[in-house]
Amino acid sequence: MFAILADPVDHVRTPGVFNAWFAARRIDAVLVPIEVPPAGLAALLDGLRAMTNLGGFVVTMPHKTAMVGLADEASRTAQLIGAANTVRRDRDGRLIATMFDGEGFVAGLRSHGHEPRGRRVWMAGAGGVACAIAFALAEAGVGRLTIHNRTAAKAVELAARVRAAYPTLEVAAGSAHPGGHDIVINGTALGLHDGDALPCDPAALRPDMLVAEVVMQPETTALLAAATARGCRIHHGIHMLDEQIRLMAAFMGIEPRA
């Protein structure tokens, strides 16, 4: 058995995607959704350590940052980013965490014909998923990265961390106005609920921009709808998950039958 931990959990598409992937490859496994609030996360992990038929689990909002400290071991990637989204349960019950959000997001862009190398990127968010994407974009060779966050200090801090790891990259905190960029990314949970504020100023969107989401449900968020109305190309959040499945499955020791 495998799982996904979230709060709330009703928007996640991971179980359907993973279970279809299992069925197509004749893998005798199932991935189930588990809703747990932050206050109950540590207690839940104690129970998961004791489940001998648990192979691992996916972690999503709002638990990615906490998982780095709660797991028994975290990869260098997870420690650098400060968040994890995939955890393997070893035979001895130890929980080993890593992060594939950023790598999956960049792979999703490329699989749909959007090469980030050399591009000017504006991103909203400085939390777990945004942090992972920031480091992955830096690794992919973007030309410039601007990070906007409602709490400006978090954007400044993330920009400094990325700059320390990639000193030749032009990276800085910025405003909610994404003008002057080629790719606009929502790396926050805004758009998950009706009435959420937009992560950027829609008046600044131009037809030559690519506007990308990490929110998977609804498929077309208010941001993507606004981008479409202004003639922009759009990139859905589900593409990040599609590209992560292979990475997550290999890490959790899932192998298709011969």
User: The domain spanning residue 199 has which CATH number?
Assistant: 3.40.50.720
pLDDT score of 246: 86
Give domain status of residue 246, yes or no: no
* Same-domain pairing of 131 and 210: yes
pLDDT score of 146: 98
Q: Which of 83, 99, 115 is the last residue of a domain?
A: 99
* Same-domain pairing of 217 and 142: yes
* Same-domain pairing of 116 and 229: yes
pLDDT score of 1: 96
Residue numbers of the domain that contains 125: 102-239
User: The domain spanning residue 49 has which CATH number?
Assistant: 3.40.50.10860
Give domain status of residue 115, yes or no: yes
* Same-domain pairing of 120 and 227: yes
* Same-domain pairing of 76 and 118: no
Asked if residue 29 lies in contact with residue 254, where contact means CB atoms within 8 angstroms, the answer is: yes
- 22, 33, 64, 205: the active-site residue: 64
Give domain status of residue 253, yes or no: no
Give domain status of residue 247, yes or no: no
Tokens of 141: 């060779």
pLDDT score of 257: 58
CA distances 159 to 166, 199, 233, Å, are: 10, 18, 26
* 154 is a catalytic site residue: no
The pTM assigned to this predicted structure is 0.82
Cβ neighbours of residue 214 closer than 8 Å, sequence gap 6 or more: 101, 105, 129, 130, 133, 185, 186, 187, 188, 237, 240
Question: In the chain, what is the greatest distance between 2 CA atoms, to the nearest angstrom?
Answer: 54
Q: Which of 64, 99, 134 is the last residue of a domain?
A: 99
* Same-domain pairing of 83 and 151: no
Output the CA angle 240-242-248, nearest 5 degrees.
90
Q: How many Cα neighbours within 13 Å face the side chain of 113?
A: 3
Residues of the chain with pLDDT under 50: none
* Same-domain pairing of 106 and 94: no
Tens of pLDDT, residue by residue over 42-53, are 999 999 999 999
CA distances 248 to 5, 174, 252, Å, are: 14, 32, 6
Burial class (CB in 10 A: 0-12, 13-18, 19+), 183: buried
* Same-domain pairing of 56 and 164: no
* Same-domain pairing of 149 and 22: no
pLDDT score of 77: 86
Cβ neighbours of residue 36 closer than 8 Å, sequence gap 6 or more: 5, 6, 7, 44, 63
Burial class (CB in 10 A: 0-12, 13-18, 19+), 52: exposed
* Same-domain pairing of 168 and 209: yes
